[in-house]
Structure formats: C-alpha cells, structure tokens
Amino acid sequence: MRFLFQNEKPPRVLRQPVQSKVPELHDAELAAVYYGNRRAGDFYDFIRVSPSRVVFGLLDIAGRLEDSRTVVNAVQHTFRTLAAELLAAEGVNESEAMIELCHQLNRTVLAAEGGVRACPAFAGCYNENLGIVCYFNAGHTAGLLRDSTGISELPATGLPLGLFSHATTDAAMVALTPGAALLLVSRGIVEGKCSGEEFGLERAKGSLQRATSETAKELCLTVLGDVQQFMCTPPMHDDVTALALMRAAPAKAVTVG
C-alpha cells in the first residue's frame, strides 16, 4: 500500500497542479492524502489568506486526469487568487466571501471546459481566532465533524460546480471545539466496493469515530487504510482522497502533590 502525500510529486508525465506547502496553524493541523497515483479529477489545495484565516478545498472534477487537467489548473488559479482577495481583510463577511468564491469557481469550470463538466466541491475557511469553519458544499460528499457530541454531517449547500452558469449556493458555519476533527472524503472512498457492497458514508463515519490518530495526516491514513481493508485490494476504481482538519485537544491539567 503506497500513499502519496501533499508534498510528494507523483510519477506522471503530465504537468500536475502546484501542490503548496500546507500552512501551519495555531493549535490545529491540516493534511490531505491521495491513495497511490491520481487517475481522475480529485484535487485539493490550501492557502493562507490572512494572519488568522486558512482556506482549504477538496474538488472532484469529472473525468480522467488527462481530460480534466486544463480545468484543474484553471480552478486552482481561481481558488488561490480569489480566496486571497476575498478573505484577506480582517472585518470581511466570511459567508459572503465563500459564496462569491463558489460562484467564481463555478464560472471557471464552465469557461475552462467550454461547456458542462460536473465538479462536486467542498471548501472551507478556517478562522483560527474563533475556531470556526465557514464552508460551502457544492454537491460534494458530506463533510464529517467529530466532536464531544459524536459525528455530524455537513451536507450539500448547493449543486456541483460546472453545471449551471447561474447556480446559487449557501455558506454555513460550524465550530471546531478543542479536540474536534473535520474529515472530507472523496467519492472514491464512499464508492469503494467489496462483493457489490459500497464502503459508504456510514463506514467513513465509523472510521472517524474509532480513529485514535493524534495528527491530521494519521487520520487520513487511517481512513484510507480502512477502505483498502474493506475492499481487500488496493483501490483502483477512482481517485481515493481524504482531507482532515484537526484542532488540538485541550491540555490536561497536571496534579501536583
């Protein structure tokens, strides 16, 4: 089993989207892991847009990697340049900024494709000062949030990108309490099959609930390992990708005496 980490270059001839260094966070951590080599349109990115905000995203552009390369590169350019413009100011309305980012990414997909190409996408802005993620889920697999109350889903707030030029979406907010973890999984994870049965979102929830990972990268590896174990074979059906944001647990009190 071989994993491709965010700073490792895949052994492919085609030019890949630039993989930026994952931003360091205060009392939190981000990571993303592809399983093996990319075959299709899964794409993730991270960018620090202000001293207290980091924007992250996981997109699933329909089609094989060779066919979607132009769209991926255009989407990455819009993601990086516009996120930095929209969310740099200290007093910006994060919900409005994320909705505009979604609208512009949608237009980018349509323009780069010259027509329709479905692109489910989940993007979030993590505010380190507040411990809050403002996000949109454009037809993507539900995000999964684990905290002291259990596992909750962050469902779609709009349609996938790349379908309609005037599609609308909403942005939502969720708090990451100390010790909480946000997990994003690609369609390739939930659609991994064994004997005709899919791994599914419920098994992804179970992996997240049982995980004892202390880092975001370990959490991604745990989930991808569970998919491979379920399938009893290395996943080859699609891109298989996990992205995690973990907030540090509160420090334990030290008893003296």
Domain spans, the chain: 3-247
- 38 in Cβ contact with 17 (< 8 Å): no
- The reported pLDDT for the residue numbered 187 is 87
Which pLDDT band holds residue 255 (cuts at 50, 70, 90)? low
Handedness of CA 243, 77, 97, 24 (dihedral sign): positive
| pLDDT per position as a tens digit, 200-219 | 999 999 999 999 988 999 99
Instruction: Find the range with the poorest average confidence among 202-206, 225-229, 237-241, 246-250.
Output: 237-241
DSSP secondary structure string for all residues of the chain: --EEETTSPPS-SSPPPP-PPPPP-SSEEEEEEEESS--EEEEEEEEEEETTEEEEEEEEEEEEHHHHHHHHHHHHHHHHHHHHHHH-STT--HHHHHHHHHHHHHHHHHHHHTS---B-EEEEEEETTTTEEEEEEESPPPEEEEETTEEEEE--SBPPBTS-TT--B--EEEE--TT-EEEEE-HHHHT-EETTEE-HHHHHHHHHHH---SSHHHHHHHHHHHHHHHHTS---SS--EEEEEEEPPPPPPPP--
3-state SS class at 169: strand
- The reported pLDDT for the residue numbered 60 is 87
For the cut 50, the answer to whether the pLDDT of residue 14 exceeds it is no
Average pLDDT over residues 98-102: 97
Q: Which CATH class is domain 3-247?
A: alpha beta
**Could you give the CA distance from residue 26 to residue 15 in angstroms, rounded to a whole number?**
33
